[in-house]
Structure 1
Amino acid sequence: MKKFLKTLSVALASGAATLAMAVPAHAQFGGIVLDPTQSAHAVQQIYNEDKSLLNQAQQIASGSQRNLTLIEQLKQDVAIAQTALNTYQQSVTTYNTIFNNLKYFNTKQIWHTAENALLHGSVQNTYGETAGLQAQMNGQSQNSSLVWKIMNLAISGTSSSFWSQEVVGNSQRLSTLAHIEAMDAASSQCLAASGAYQASRTANLQANTALNTSVYDTSNNTNSEVEQLNLLNMQNAQRMEEEHAQGQLHACMAAQAAVTNMDKRNEASLTLNDANYKITQQANNPAYLGNSSQTWTTYY
């Protein structure tokens, strides 16, 4: 467009200059006579028209530029509007999520399970042989060692002469004594752990009941995001304490199993030791009859 306007302007200026340099002429042979004044007016009019066309071309070019700027601005406005729409839709989705959580998450009764009741042991005590055992099992006593001692037969061979010739690792008496002492320790520990577990369950019953009530509460106050996170933290803390208590009980069971294995091992060792003793005695002191075979020597 600009190139066309420049070309048109040059052409018009050239024509005007040519007309301006024209000289007056007289009519010859009845021809047309050129009037310089009219020619000058025509040139001026052409110049003015050329200037007007140039101004119009510039206005058109300026208008095109403005239109281009408006299109770019319109594109930016559309992009901003799209971003705002996305933000609005996300806010609506978040609101609907919270609303649905408060409305439908309150239906929790389908998850509710009854907590197992505490099992209280009942032990017969006819002549005082189990004195304190029932209280110990139910977490009402802290004398597990004494309770265990009352229920078991005491060892009478406690004099120095009874143990003076015994060698550790090579004595059936000491092995049996060790087995008894291991049973005393493991059993006392298990009685104490069982009683402590029952006592802790009783002491924490009110707190556990309150937590259970809050978990299954259907009001909006206990179903907010912060409240639900708090309930989860409390449940995790309660579960951790329960796992610790269960770990103590499992440790007692492992100790009891070790003591049981100790008893079985001693029985097997005693059988082998008796067999070896018999073979040695028969080899060193044969008891078969004269002129008879040695069949009885290897018979045991």
Structure 2
Amino acid sequence: MKTAMTARWLALAGGFIALASAVPAHAQFGGVVFDPTQSAHAVVQISNESKGLVNQATRIAQGSQTNLTLSQQLIQDIQMAGTALKIYNQSITTYNTIFNNLKYFNSKSIWRTAENALMNSSVQNSYGETSGLQAQLNGQSQNASTVWKIMNLAISGTSSSFWGNQIVGASDRLSTLAHIEAMDAASTQCLGAVGAYNASRTTNLPANSALNTSIYDTTTSTNSEVEQLNLLNISNSQRMEEAHAQGQLQACLAAQAAVNNMDKRNAASLTINDASYKLTAQASNPTYAGNESNTWTTYF
């Protein structure tokens, strides 16, 4: 469009120039007289007008190009503004979603689990045979070793003659004594661990209750992002402490299992040793009547 307009203006200007450049003819018939001065002024005026038309056509063409460039720029600006508006609206929507989740985070009930109340142990003590056991189990005493000794039968016959000439690893008496001592150690440790665990649960009950209240609270005061992160950190810390306590209890169970295995192993060893002794005695002491006196003397 711009090229066609420019061509039309140039053609029109060229026509005026050609008209101005034409050589004037003298009058062939009477009545018409040619004035060269006036004609020259007319030619100059026409030439100037043609130049002005050419310049005007050029300015119009340049203006059209400028207007076209501005129009394109305006279209691009409008498109960019539309894109920016979409991004802004998306940002507003995201912000509102996050804000509402933090301020109105009220779906915490899905986390709630039923926690069994920790019951205090109740132990019968008719004649003093379990003195201190109930207090020990409930974390109200630190005398696990004393309590364990009260509840168990003491070992008698501990004179030097009873233990004399006993070889470790080859003595029924020493293995039985080791079993008893191992049971004493493991059981005392477990009584202390159970008492400490129950005592800590009682001590930490207010803190745990406060934490649960904050966790399941649906008001805005405990539902900011920072507050939620703090609650998560505290919960992780308490879970770690609970895991440590559970580890101590599991260690006690493992010790008890080892002691129980001791008892079974000693019984199996005793069975094998008795069988071996029986075979040896039968080979050394025939059961027929001629040598029965010696058999009865060494009978097991």
Alignment match, 2:210 = 210
The structure-2 alpha-carbon separation of the partners of 1:43 and 1:276, relative to structure 1 and needing over 3 Å to count, comes to farther
Alignment match, 2:242 = 242
Number of aligned residues? 286
Note the C-alpha offset of 1:184.
Answer: 0.6
Task: Indicate whether 1:69 and 2:70 are aligned.
Answer: yes
Equivalent pair of 1:12/1:46 in contact (CA under 8 Å):
no
Alignment match, 2:55 = 55
The structure-2 alpha-carbon separation of the partners of 1:53 and 1:283, relative to structure 1 and needing over 3 Å to count, comes to farther
Note the C-alpha offset of 1:6.
Answer: 10
TM-score (norm 1): 0.81
Equivalent pair of 1:137/1:194 in contact (CA under 8 Å):
yes
Distance 1:218 1:129 in 2: 52
Equivalent pair of 1:187/1:256 in contact (CA under 8 Å):
yes
Distance 2:166 2:12 in 1: 136
SS at match of 1:221: helix
Greater mean deviation of Cα atoms: 264-273 or 33-42 = 33-42
Alignment match, 1:159 = 159
The structure-2 alpha-carbon separation of the partners of 1:38 and 1:126, relative to structure 1 and needing over 3 Å to count, comes to same
Alignment match, 1:15 = 18
Equivalent pair of 1:5/1:54 in contact (CA under 8 Å):
no
What's the C-alpha RMSD, in Å, of the aligned pairs? 3.2
Distance 1:265 1:259 in 2: 10
Could you report, residue by residue, the CA deviation over 1:147-175 in whole angstroms, capped at 9, with x for unpaired residues? Answer: 11111111224333333322222222121
- Structure 1 unaligned spans of 5+: 291-300
Equivalent pair of 2:123/2:133 in contact (CA under 8 Å):
yes
Task: Indicate whether 1:102 and 2:120 are aligned.
Answer: no
Alignment match, 2:262 = 262
Could you report, residue by residue, the CA deviation over 1:208-227 in whole angstroms, capped at 9, with x for unpaired residues? Answer: 11112222223221222222
- Structure 2 unaligned spans of 5+: 291-300
Alignment-mate amino acid for residue 174 of structure 1: L
1:120-135 matched pairs, under 5 angstroms: 120-135=120-135
Runs of 4+ aligned structure 1 residues displaced above 6 Å come to none
Q: Percent identity?
A: 63
TM-score (norm 2): 0.81
Task: Indicate whether 1:86 and 2:87 are aligned.
Answer: yes
The structure-2 alpha-carbon separation of the partners of 1:27 and 1:235, relative to structure 1 and needing over 3 Å to count, comes to closer
The structure-2 alpha-carbon separation of the partners of 1:6 and 1:126, relative to structure 1 and needing over 3 Å to count, comes to same
Equivalent pair of 1:222/1:228 in contact (CA under 8 Å):
yes
Equivalent pair of 1:141/1:195 in contact (CA under 8 Å):
yes
Equivalent pair of 2:17/2:47 in contact (CA under 8 Å):
no
Note the C-alpha offset of 1:94.
Answer: 1.8
Distance 2:125 2:98 in 1: 62
Distance 1:288 1:13 in 2: 164
SS at match of 1:134: helix
SS at match of 1:287: coil
Greater mean deviation of Cα atoms: 238-247 or 77-86 = 77-86
Equivalent pair of 1:136/1:192 in contact (CA under 8 Å):
yes
Equivalent pair of 2:10/2:54 in contact (CA under 8 Å):
no
Higher relative CO (Cα under 8 Å, sequence separation at least 6) belongs to 2
Equivalent pair of 2:121/2:138 in contact (CA under 8 Å):
yes
Alignment-mate amino acid for residue 162 of structure 2: F
